Amino acid sequence: MTLLKTQYGRRSFLKTTAVAGGGMMLGFSWLTGCQTKPIKEVMEMPKEWFEINSYLKIGENGVATIISPNPEFGQNVRTSMPMLIAEELDLDWKKVLVEQAPYHPSNFGMQFTGGSRGIMSRWEPLRMVGASARQMLMAAAAQTWNVSIQEITTEKGILYHESTGLSAEYGEMASIAAQMPVPEEVVLKDVNEFNLIGTSQKNVDGPKIVTGQPMFGLDYKKEGMKIAMIEHPPAFGMTLKSFDASEVKKMPGIKDVVSIKSYKDGFEKGGFDTNAFPEVVAIVGNSTWEVMQAKNKLKVEWKQFDTYSEITKGFRGNTSSKTVPSGLESTTEHKLQIDLLASKPGRIVRKDGNPEANFKSASKIIERSYSAPFLAHNCMEPINSFAHFKGDNVHLATPLQIPAFIIPTLAASLEIPEENIHMDITRMGGGFGRKAYASYVVEAALISKKVNEPIKLIYSREDDMTNGIYRPMYQATYRAAINDKNELIAFHVKAGGIPESPLFANRFPAGAIDNYLAEDWSINSNISIGAFRAPRSNFMAGAEQSFLDEVAEELGKDPIQFRLDLLKKAEENPVGKRNDYDAKRYAGVLDLVREKSNWNEDNSNLKRGVSAYFCHSTYAAHVLDVEIENGNPVVQKVSCAIDCGIVVNPDAAKNMAEGAIIDGIGNAMFGEMTFKNGTPEKNNFHDYRMIRMSEAPKEIDVHFVKNEINPTGMGEPPFPPIFGALANAMYKANGERYYEQPFLKNREIKG
C-alpha cells in the first residue's frame, strides 16, 4: 500500500468547480501525459465539453479526457501515461480520451520528453490523479445514497453499494463529485491489484498515423501561411558576411529574403542553445518548391569567425564559460589530436587500490582502443516550426522535446515577455535528442517577425544533416592486467572525445575489480554536438563490452559467466562506495538472456555475441546471432532481456526495444559523419548510410524481468548494448575484432 499526500512540491492538487453539462473537472499542475482524442464517432461524446488546460474531465456519460502535456515522438507516452490514471480511477479503458496540451508551465510544470524519464518521474503523480478522482466520486455516491464511503466500491467506471444494490456510472456522480473537497491523502493500489497496468494496449495514435491524418509539425497549416527555408554557412567555423538577394526577389512566389540572428549580443545561453550557425539567411515564399529554387540562386558570402567565449547557464542555474575556437576543422586533424591526447595521462576521475603497481607486476597486459565518429540524428520528419508573430505576441506550433528550455531564448530574441509566447506542441516524427535543441523555433519566430507573416520554416534534409547537433566523436583505451595465476588483477579505462568525454567512471566494472583506474580528456571544437539516444552510453557500452569479451577469451572463460563472476564480486564484496549500479539486477538480465537465448545449449554452429549495460536506471542485455552470407553480415536473431521495473504497457516497451536494437545495428555498421575544412562531407541518405529493411534482424525476442520495482527508463537503455553484441558476434563469425565504428566503413552492403 502506498499512502500519498495530495500535495506535490510547491503546487497543490487543484479542483475546478465550474462544471459543464454535469461533468467533473480536476486540475493537477504535475500531470504528464495522456492519449489522443479519437474521432467522435468512436464513442458518444458528452453534451458539453470544456477545453481547459491541465484537467481530467469526466462527462455526464462517464467519458473521461486527460490532457497530455508531454511531447510525443514515438515512445508512446500518450498511451502508457493515461493508463496510470485510468488504473487508479478504475475507469473503463474504452472510455478514455486524451488531448495534447499546449505549452503551459504554470499548469503542467516541465513538459519534457527525453532521458527516458517520462514514466519514471510520473509514476506516482499520475496515479494520484486517478486515485483522487476516484475518492471524490466515491464521496459523491456516499453522500447521495446516505451511506459510508468505506462501503462504496468501484469497477470499470461504475460505483457500487453492495448491501443496498445501488450503483451508478461515474458520469451520474460527476457534477456532485466536482463539489467535493480534494482528499488530503490517497491510497494507491498495490501491484497485485493492477488490472490495466501491465497489459498491452495498442498505440492510441496508430489509426491516425497509418491513415495520414495531420498530427505532425510538418502537417500544420494556417490560412495565409508562407513557407520559409534557411541558408546557413557551408562550414563550421564560418559566419555570415553579406548576401545579394536582388535576383532572388524577382523569382516567382518569393516574398522576401532576410537575415536573422538567433541570439542577442551578450545573451546568456541555456544548455540547449547550441546552434552553431546563429546568423543565417532566410527565404520566404508561397510554396516549398518556389523557395527551394530561389535558395539555389541566392548569393551569399561567408567569412571565418575569430575565437570567442560565451556564458552558458546549466540546469541548476549555475553558469560556465565556454570557448568556441576558430578554424575549419577536419576529421583527419581530429584523429591526430585524439592520438596525441590519448597517449598522454588523462584527468583521474576514479582510482581504487593500486592499479599502477598491479600493471607493473602483471604477467600479461591486454590493451585495446576503440573509436567512433560524429553521428547525425536523421529524424525522419524534417526539422520544422510554424510561427506567427503579431503585435507583441507569437503563436508557435512545433515538434520539440523540451519547450521550456527555448522560451527564455525566444523572449530575449523577440524582445517580448515570456507570457506572450503561445505554443502548440505537435507530434514529432522522431527526436533521439535532436529536437531538444530548438534553435529552429527561434529562427521561425524571428523570420515571422521580420516579414510580418505567418510562416512555416522547413529544413531540407541537407540543411538538417549539415546543421550540427551531432553525436560527439569518441575514443576509449582499455587495459587489463592478468597475473601468472590467470586472474584479472587490474583494470584501466581512459576515454575522451570531441568536444566531451564519454566516460562513466562509476559504472561496471568499477566496483568489481580491486585495482581500478579511470581517466578522461576532451578536445575543444566549434562543431556543435548534443544528446544522441543514450548519450555517451551509446559509445561506452560498445567499447566496454567488446573489451570484456576479449578479456574473457584470454582467461578462457565463457563471456556471460565471466561477467556474472565480476558482478558477484560487486554484489558480495564491492570495491568503493560510488558504484552507480545494482549488481544483482545487472546479473539478472544476463541470467535471463542466457536462458531465453539457450546460451548453454550446443551452439557450436551459431556465431553469437553477448553484451549487457546499465544506463537511465535500467539494465539491458542482448545476445545476437549473425551469419556471413555472400560476404555480408546478416543478423538472424537478437534475444533481449530488460529490467526496467514494472512494465506499464508491454506492447509499447517491446516496440521501443525493437526500435533501439535496429537503430543500434544500423549506426554500428554504417553511421559516420566526417568533415573537411569545416564542411560536413555527407548531406543526404545517398552518402550517409542508414540501415535498410532487409538488414534488420530476422527475429527479435524481447523479455522483461518481472519485479515490483517502480518503473525506470525504457526508450534509451536497449540501445547501447547492441553495439557490443554485434561486434562480439561478428568476431565469432569471421574472426575479426572491431575497434572502429562504423564496422563496415567504406563498404556498400547489398540489400
500 and 439 in a common domain: no
Residue scoring higher pLDDT (604 or 271): 271
Q: Give the percent of the chain with pLDDT over 70.
A: 92
In a domain, 636, yes or no: yes
Residue-number span of the structural domain to which 509 is assigned = 473-734
Task: State yes or no: pLDDT of 23 exceeds 70.
Answer: no
Give the CA distances from residue 117 to residues 2, 682, 714, 716, in Å, rounded to whole numbers and listed in that order. Answer: 21, 33, 8, 10
Same domain, 432 and 291: yes
564 and 619 within one domain: yes
* Cell numbers for 173: 456522480
In a domain, 58, yes or no: yes
- Express each pLDDT in 358-373 by its tens digit: 999 999 999 999 999 9
**Nine cell digits for residue 240:** 555570415
> Does 505 lie in the same domain as 392?
no
Judgement on whether residues 241 and 93 belong to the same structural domain of the protein? no
Q: Is residue 248 part of a domain?
A: yes
654 and 521 together in one domain = yes
Both 253 and 400 in one domain: the answer is yes
- Considering the domain architecture, whether residues 60 and 114 belong to the same structural domain is answered as yes
C-alpha distances out from residue 173 to 151, 156, 185, Å = 16, 14, 21
The residues pairing with 424 across neighbouring beta strands, listed in sequence order, are: 397
Q: Tell me: do 447 and 493 sit in the same domain.
A: no
Report the CATH number at residue 66.
Answer: 3.30.365.10
Residue 327 lies inside a defined structural domain of this protein? no
C-alpha cell read off for 555: 582467461
Give the pLDDT of residue 7: 55
Same domain, 162 and 55: yes
Q: How many domains does the chain have?
A: 3
- As a 3-state breakdown, the chain gives helix, strand, coil percent values, each rounded to 5, of 30, 30, 40
Residue 613 shares a structural domain with residue 485? yes
Look at residue 13 and tell me whether its pLDDT is greater than 60: no
Q: Same domain for 176 and 252?
A: no
Q: What is the pLDDT of residues 80-91, one digit of tens each?
A: 988 998 999 999
Torsion of CA 132, 176, 153, 711, to 10 degrees: -20
pLDDT of residue 42: 38
Q: Parallel, antiparallel, or unpaired for β 64-68 and 96-100?
A: parallel
Q: 66 or 692, which is more confident?
A: 692
How many residues would you count in the chain?
Answer: 751
Q: Is residue 22 part of a domain?
A: yes
User: Of 31-35, 41-45, 647-651, 728-732, which range is least confident?
Assistant: 31-35
* pLDDT value at 662 more than 60: yes
Q: What is the pLDDT of residue 747?
A: 60
For residue 210, being part of any structural domain is answered with no
Q: How confident is the model at residue 3 (pLDDT cuts 50, 70, 90)?
A: confident
At 523-543, the pLDDT tens digits run 999 999 999 999 999 999 999
The 10s digit of each residue's pLDDT in 447-474 is 999 999 999 999 999 999 999 999 999 9
Is residue 751 assigned to a domain? no
Question: Residue 15 pLDDT > 50, yes or no?
Answer: no
* Average confidence (pLDDT) over 554-580: 97
What percent of the chain is predicted at pLDDT more than 90?
Answer: 73
Is the pLDDT at 36 greater than 60? The verdict is: no
Give whole-number Cα distances, 213 to 203, 205, 208, 216, in Å.
15, 10, 5, 9
Task: Please state the pTM of the whole predicted model.
Answer: 0.92
Read off the pLDDT of residues 580-602 as tens digits, 9 standing for 90 and up. 999 999 999 999 999 999 999 87
Mean pLDDT score of the chain, rounded to an integer? 90
749 in a domain, yes or no? no
Please tell me the distance from the alpha carbon of residue 718 to that of residue 640, in angstroms, as a whole number: 8
Maximum CA pair distance of the chain? 85
